Amino acid sequence: MSRISLPHDHGSDIEKHMDSLPKTEDFQVLSDIFRLLGDSSRLRIFWILCHCEECVINISAMMDMSSPAVSHHLKALKTGRLVVSRRDGKEVYYKAADTEQAALLHHMIEELLEIACPGSAYPSASRPT
């Protein structure tokens, strides 16, 4: 049983939790994922690509953004393995990656939208119960 000495000892159960504290590198891996979604443009692009597959100029049009800016974000999302791409002729189509990670993040975004922005998500569709 490891004993961790801290400056102050109020009778907390901290050592118990410190034993299960994930490694520093793991927090780095996770924060890298969160940082990808920490930009509103990139988050919006990811949301779109969770719902359909689209080429860059259409994404640019939807985002009202230059294609170099969109391309920049797509590269970041792709490097982070949140989206995948395929070329068809002159166009490159992007969509959310078919992975557990991407699915979890998408699900969480929808949940957070309901909690943090009530009444906003799916205004035309199903009414919240």
Q: Chain centroid to CA 25: how far? A: 19
β-pairing, 54-55 vs 91-96, is antiparallel
Rounded Cα distance, 129 and 93, in Å:
36
Q: Which residues bind a second copy (CB under 8 A)?
A: 6-8, 10, 12-14, 17-24, 26-40, 42-44, 47-48, 51-55, 57-58, 61-62, 91, 100-101, 104, 108-109, 111-113, 115-117, 120-125
Q: Which of 33, 55, 62, 113 binds DNA (CB under 7 A)?
A: 55
Q: How many CB atoms lie within 10 A of CB 1?
A: 5
Which spans of this chain sit near DNA (rule: CB under 7 A)?
7-8, 35, 38-39, 41-42, 55-57, 65-76, 85, 87, 89-93
